[in-house]
């Protein structure tokens, strides 16, 4: 340890209300997330471990950590629960990981607007329980909602259960504002309105330490889970599209190809393995769903109210599908994409013919800029980078938009372009570029060309 590091640690130890974790095994565990879904990321990130982890208990200790890291040029990487899939919370250049789990309070609820103000380290499961008292619920949930934090979801997630109705986290109207602490000589707590919050939304904590969020919520519904069996994938897609354009409330609409169904936990599989359409709707939607199923001559089963099920269908959708596949065989990895509008099956059919059972289809219904669309998280048998690139190129050629889960940067996994506002925010709120360094491509370009 260098003298400078020793001085740094001694200074951190003077901060009130700050838990410091130095045990090698804990620091290693808290430097990881679920990047191992990608063999490419695994190779890059396995050796990335922080020097230490801190858990601040109040705003003043967050500010102090930021100030000391700034003084000693030490990288600072934020962490919620570490359930991200892109190594978002993995420190590429050592330094400090700051886990926000002690920032877990619901601060305010406005019954007029349904807006909730909540601290960033609050688990979504706890937030939803507290919202229930006000007759409300979160609009959007990742399938990790039982373990993940709301701050980690906003800074690192994209959408999930509820995206069929509410789109994605970055769609206007979901995030109403936030509060964040800056990383400069004299860190400050700043308040951002909806527009000002945009550059910090899905920025992997590279341009501010989010301490609380103001979010729009939905009226609490009782969601009923329905499983529809279908022997043809093309027909399953038609049924899902018919359901998503019907005048019913939906929280979830997904399709799992039969070979995926076969690998799901035993409780989920029925006797007949077929493609399955998974739906969550309200009691008022069930009759319409039955009618649509009759028209298509397919069988549906009402499992009951999702919340009351021992194992709900929320546990086999979004990236939980990949989780279950990988628990059977670690050679499964995945892709994420928005399928081309109207000719989804053309793409799927082409890939089925070319790649056979190396690519299995998992589809999720989403709303994109207000229109019903289909996204896909196909699972792939890992067979090297070249094959992965060829599959992605096939998808792109046929009109899919890929959100590549095998890259480290905000831009690589997202829209693929630098968001100048994210970079500007970093310049303003993290002038030395110490927050989660290496994750914002736009910043690296700025540094390289000295802009």
The binding site for ligand FAD (CB under 6 A) comprises 33-34, 77-85, 88-89, 100, 120, 142-144, 148-149, 151-153, 155-160, 204-205, 209-210, 318-320, 323, 436
C-beta of 446: minimal distance to ligand FAD in Å? 19
CB 5, min distance to ligand FAD, A: 22
CA neighbours closer than 13 Å in the CB half-sphere of residue 244: 31
Distance in Å, CB of 214 to ligand FAD, minimum: 14
CB of 329 to ligand FAD, least distance (A): 16
Distance, CA of 220 to CA of 133 (rounded, Å): 10
For ligand FAD, the closer CB: 18 or 209: 209
Alpha carbons within 13 A on the beta-carbon side of 289: 26
Closest CB 93 distance from ligand FAD, rounded Å: 14
**Nearer to ligand FAD by C-beta: 395 or 440?**
440
Indicate the residue among 120 and 274 with the shorter CB distance to ligand FAD: 120
Cβ proximity to ligand FAD: between 15 and 317 the closer is 317
Residue nearest to ligand FAD as judged by C-beta position? 152
Dihedrals φ, ψ of 217, to 5°?
-120, 170
Give the shortest CB-206-to-ligand FAD separation in angstroms: 8
* Mode of pairing for the β-strands spanning 18-21 and 106-110: unpaired
CB 101 within 8 A of CB 217: no
Alpha carbon distance 444, 375 (integer Å): 30
DSSP symbol at 100: -
List the end-to-end C-alpha distance of the chain, in Å, as a whole number. Answer: 34
Task: Give the span between the Cα atoms of 109 and 217, in whole angstroms.
Answer: 10
Q: Among residues 144 and 300, whose Cβ is nearest to ligand FAD?
A: 144
Least separation in angstroms between residue 159's CB and ligand FAD is: 6
Picking from 282, 264, 365, the residue whose alpha carbon sits closest to that of residue 322 is 264
Q: Are 77 and 89 in contact (CB under 8 A)?
A: yes
Nearest distance from residue 317's CB to ligand FAD, in Å? 7
Q: 137 or 229: whose CB is closer to ligand FAD?
A: 137
Buried b / exposed e over 379-413, threshold 16 CB at 10 Å, is: bbbbeeeeebeebbebbeebbbbbbbbbbbbbbbb
- Report in angstroms how near the CB of residue 137 gets to ligand FAD at its nearest: 16
Are the beta carbons of 194 and 172 closer than 8 angstroms? yes
Considering beta carbons, is residue 45 or 293 the nearer one to ligand FAD?
45
| Residue 383: both structure tokens together | 């067979």
Q: In the complex with ligand FAD, which residue's Cβ is closer, 205 or 372?
A: 205
Nearer to ligand FAD, 119 or 244 (CB): 119
Q: Yes or no: say if 313 and 227 are a contact pair by the CB < 8 Å rule.
A: yes
Angle at 330 between CA 326 and CA 331, to 5 degrees: 110
């Amino acid at each position: 340890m260098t003298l400078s590091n020793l001085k740094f640690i001694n200074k951190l130890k003077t901060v009130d209300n700050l838990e410091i974790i130095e045990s090698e095994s804990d620091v290693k565990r808290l430097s990881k997330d679920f990047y191992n879904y990608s063999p490419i990321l695994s190779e890059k990130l396995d050796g990335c471990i922080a020097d230490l982890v801190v858990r601040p208990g109040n705003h003043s200790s967050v500010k102090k950590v930021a100030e000391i890291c700034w003084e000693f040029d030490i990288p600072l990487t934020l962490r919620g629960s570490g359930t991200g899939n892109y190594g978002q919370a993995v420190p590429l250049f050592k330094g400090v990981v700051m886990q926000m789990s002690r920032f877990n309070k619901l601060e305010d609820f406005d019954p007029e607007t349904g807006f909730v103000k909540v601290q960033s380290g609050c688990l979504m499961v706890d937030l939803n329980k507290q919202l229930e008292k006000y007759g409300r619920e979160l609009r959007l949930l990742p399938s990790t909602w039982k373990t993940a934090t709301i701050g980690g979801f906003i800074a690192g997630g994209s959408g999930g259960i509820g995206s069929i109705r509410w789109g994605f986290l970055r769609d206007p109207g979901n995030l109403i504002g936030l509060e964040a602490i800056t990383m400069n000589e004299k860190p400050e707590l700043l308040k951002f309105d909806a527009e000002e919050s945009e550059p910090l939304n899905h920025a992997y904590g590279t341009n501010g330490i989010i301490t609380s969020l103001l979010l729009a919520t939905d009226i609490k519904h009782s969601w009923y889970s329905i499983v529809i069996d279908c022997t043809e994938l093309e027909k399953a897609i038609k049924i899902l599209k018919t359901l998503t354009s019907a005048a019913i409330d939906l929280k979830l609409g997904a399709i799992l190809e039969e070979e995926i169904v076969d690998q799901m936990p035993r409780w989920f599989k029925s006797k007949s393995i077929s493609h399955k359409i998974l739906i969550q709707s309200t009691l008022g939607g069930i009759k319409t769903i039955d009618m649509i199923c009759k028209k298509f001559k397919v069988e549906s089963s009402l499992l009951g109210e999702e919340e009351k099920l021992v194992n709900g269908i929320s546990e086999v959708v979004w990236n939980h599908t990949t989780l279950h596949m990988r628990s059977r065989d670690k050679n499964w990895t995945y892709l994420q994409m928005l399928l081309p509008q109207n000719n989804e099956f053309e793409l799927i059919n082409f890939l089925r013919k070319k790649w056979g059972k190396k690519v299995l289809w998992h589809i999720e219904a989403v709303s994109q800029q207000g229109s019903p669309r289909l996204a896909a998280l196909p699972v792939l048998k890992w067979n090297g980078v070249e094959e992965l690139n060829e599959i992605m190129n096939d998808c792109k050629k046929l009109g899919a938009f890929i959100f590549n889960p095998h890259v480290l940067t905000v831009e690589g996994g997202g829209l693929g372009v630098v968001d100048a506002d994210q970079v500007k925010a970093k310049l303003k709120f993290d002038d030395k570029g110490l927050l989660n360094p290496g994750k914002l491509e736009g910043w690296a370009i700025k540094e390289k060309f000295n802009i």
